[in-house]
Amino acid sequence: MINSIFLVDSIGVQNWTYILVGITFSLYIGIAVWARAGSTKEFYVAGGGVSPLANGMATAADWMSAASFISMAGIISFAGYDGAVYLMGWTGGYVLLALLLAPYLRKFGKFTVPDFIGDRYYSNTARLVGVICALLVSFTYVAGQMRGVGLVFSRFLEVDINTGVVIGMLIVLFYAVLGGMKGITYTQVAQYCVLIFAFMVPAIFISIQMTGNPIPQLGFGSELVDGSGTFLLDKLDGLSTDLGFAEYTQGSKSLVDIFAITLALMVGTAGLPHVIVRFFTVKRVKDARKSAGIALLLIVILYSTAPAVAAFARTNMIETLSNKSYATVPEWFKKWETTGLITFVDKNNDGLIQYVADNNKNELVVDNDIMVLANPEIAELPNWVIALVAAGALAAALSTAAGLLLVISASVSHDLIKKIINPKISEKNELIAARFSAVVAVCVAGYFGINPPGFVAATVALAFGLAAASFFPAIILGIFYKRMNKEGAIAGMIVGIVVMLYYMLKYKLGWFDEVTPDKSEWWFGISPEGFGSVAMLLNFIVSITIMKFTPLPPKDVQEIVEKIRIPSGAGKATH
Amino acid sequence: MEKNNSKVYWKENIKYLFILLTVWFLVSFGGGILFKDFLNEFKFGGFKLGFWFAQQGSMYVFVILIFIYVKLMNKLDKKYGYDK
């Protein structure tokens, strides 16, 4: 047994990574060839006949990006309690999606989100505003994904980041352009399996090592195996306060900000076009509801494990490094130091690593991403587990990138070209246009991946803020408020987006001042990350106020609303 | 009759939404945020209860809520003959 482990380990991390990444990539390409799209319906919504289970898996992979897989556990690890905004925010949105949006949009039965906005608000202006929102949201999001692909390649296979981005582009290009939504859906099913396996295996190993409990969600609340009888979280609270940090289970953000960020992420999730469009691919309204449930269940498997990994990794890190001699640090420390993800400056020249909250005395800076990427090494797990993490991270980044690219190409070929510019375009030409816009979108995304704009750090918050401020209110009012008219909806979306952009540019990027304004100047004490909730409220208020002073929507539109509220007779998606 | 049917169906649907979303709000914004400090007085294994709601419990409840909704709506669809 021990012999065979050594034998397997002698293959080395890098070769293992080549093997696992090679196998998974061939699998994705094989699926793409098998699931080619032959019509626009297949290209946009996979023909509308995807089973709830497959759609749930695809949605989960689509949803969990490089950020969820690589960064989230690390962010929680450093933020402690505050990290809950991501956990609740990025899962609670699915309840809104399942109860308030997915079934009705499926019944409505079109191809894209701007389709709904344009038809429900009987106006091409509304459609155009929808297209602009969809493009803004998707491009900001996809740039980060391509960067993630490049980073994983460079860290595990020691190729240049840019080469990594190009390899990622080629793969996505191949299956998104060939297969459209159909190809993407079935590769995402495979990618979900890869990424969840890759995330869970190290988590289970570490949970057993630290607490003796194989289920990380329970190990997280168990006693340590060191025989001290101390609970892991109590130990971590103690370690944190000893070093001058906030208590791990308390966090340091204000209550109002926590509330606002959680809400903004929830409604943002429910308003993201690449998530919504997944529910157009199932057969019936009841399948849309069910697949939202399955998707969330599959997402929560990873999301409930992440905070456990966060707590394990944090405890491990403090115990391994704090006040230890730099000369005797483990090998992984030196390896990740060369990537710049860990930096150590011996400020007081005592040869020991001081890791404390006080910035003047702290000597150790650890990047968020380390907590997942280096965790298997920190816990001394076998090489194949380390390689598995690389394959999982790539699956997460590629699946999300592909989903976003599809939204971009559909927005251009369907919403812009077919519905606004040239309604007479033939099915065949529309399909060509769709493929062509997918190619252009991949190139633009790749460009941003290679030359990340300065605002990449702000992009995730921005994408959620914009979705919360634009689509969410417009769709909710479109379904639940029959009297809502085009004037109200258009004004609401525009005000929502403009205010959101302004706040982000002013308080996150500091475009309008010499220095970025301090948090004491935030409106109501709400950070740019949480401002989406304010912008969303503004959208609702503006929409309803304007509606009161403008004509009711035409009779046939009111009838559409009556119809989408009834689940039966949801035909296949049509033009 | 047809028209009336759809009105009653919609009313019941809204009632379900209201109840389920109240629970959604209570576990996350309530248990995990607004009442966190109070709940942290109680312990659940090694977890302080408020912290547990924030980082574990509310997510489990979300999943359960969607499946309850699926069940309720399937039944409602059948009752009004919209399950075809």
3-state secondary structure A281-344: CECCHHHHHHHHHHHHHHHHHHHHHHHHHHHHHHHHHHHHHCCCEHHHCCHHHHHHHHCCCEEE
- Judged against a pLDDT cut of 60, whether residue A376 lies above it is answered with yes
At residue A79, the 3 state secondary structure works out as helix
Question: Which residues of chain B have a Cβ shorter than 8 Å from any chain A Cβ?
Answer: 6, 9-10, 13, 17, 20-21, 24, 28-29, 32-34, 36, 40, 44-48, 51-52, 54-56, 58-60, 62-63, 65-67, 69-70, 73-74, 77, 81-84
pLDDT mean over A243-265: 91
Range of the domain at B32: 2-79
pLDDT at residue A7 is higher than 50: no
Say what the ipTM of the complex is. Answer: 0.95
Contact list in A for residue B8 (CB cut-off 8 A) is none
Contact A114, A408 (CB under 8 A): no
pLDDT at res. A167: 85
Residues in contact with A284: Cβ distance below 8 Å, sequence separation at least 6, in sequence order: A106, A567, A570
Whether B20 is in a domain gets the answer yes
Residue A9 has pLDDT above 60, yes or no: no
Q: What is the percent of chain A where pLDDT is above 90?
A: 39
What does the pLDDT average to over A38-59? 87
At residue A264, the pLDDT reads 95
Q: How far is the CA of A83 from the CAs of A75, A230, A252, A307, A396, in angstroms?
A: 7, 23, 10, 8, 20
Q: Based on the structure, what is the number of domains in chain A?
A: 1
pLDDT for residue A5 is more than 80: no
Judge whether residue A552 has pLDDT over 50. yes
Closest residue by Cα to residue A299 from A106, A97, A146: A97
Q: Which of A290-294, A360-364, A391-395 has the highest mean pLDDT?
A: A290-294
Is the CB of residue A219 less than 8 Å from the CB of residue A325? no
pLDDT at B60 over 90: yes
Residue of chain B minimizing CA distance to A93: B62
Instruction: List chain B residues with CB under 8 Å of A565.
Output: 6, 9-10, 13
**Residues from chain A contacting residue B29 (CB–CB below 8 Å):** 259, 262-263
Asked if residue B84 is part of any domain, the answer here is no
pLDDT at A574: 53
In which domain, by residue range, is A214 found? 35-564
Nearest 5°: phi and psi at A364? Answer: -120, 125
Pairwise CB contact (< 8 Å): B28 & A92: yes
Output the 3-class SS for A168-208. HHHHHHHHHHHHHHHHHHHHHHHHHHHHHHHHHHHHHHHHH
Give the predicted TM-score (pTM) of the model: 0.91
Q: Tokens 């990539």 — which residue?
A: A25
Q: Could you tell me the pLDDT band of residue A6, with boundaries at 50, 70 and 90?
A: very low
Closest-CA residue to A498 (of A448, A441, A542, A550): A542
Residues of A in contact with B5 (CB under 8 A): none
Instruction: Say what the pLDDT of residue A471 is.
Output: 92
Contacts of B6 in chain A (CB under 8 A): 562, 565-566
Judge whether A60 lies within some domain.
yes
> What's the distance, CA B77 to chain centroid?
19
Kindly state whether residue A23 falls inside one of the protein's structural domains.
Answer: no
Asked if residue B71 belongs to a domain, the reply is yes
- Mutate which of A75, A76, A314, A566 to disrupt the B interface (most B C-beta within 10 Å)? A566
Answer yes or no: is A22 within a domain.
no
Q: Is residue A4 part of a domain?
A: no
Mean pLDDT across A257-275? 93
Taking an 8 Å cut-off on Cβ atoms, the answer to whether B6 and A94 are in contact is no
A212: CATH: 1.20.1730.10
Number of domains, chain B: 1
pLDDT tens for A299-342 read 999 999 999 999 998 998 888 888 888 888 888 888 788 777 78
pLDDT band at A474 (very low <50, low <70, confident <90, very high): very high
Put simply, the answer to whether B82 touches A567 (Cβ < 8 Å) is yes
CA-nearest of A340, A343, A348 to A329 is A343
Q: How far is A193 from chain B (nearest CA, A)?
A: 20
Confidence of residue A419 (pLDDT cuts 50, 70, 90): confident
pLDDT value of residue A2? 41
Say what the pLDDT of residue A170 is.
Answer: 86
Token digits of residue A452: 């990340």
A1 pLDDT band, cuts 50/70/90, is very low
pLDDT for res A162: 84
How confident is the model over A80-101, as pLDDT tens digits? 999 999 999 999 999 999 999 9
How high is the mean pLDDT of chain A? 87
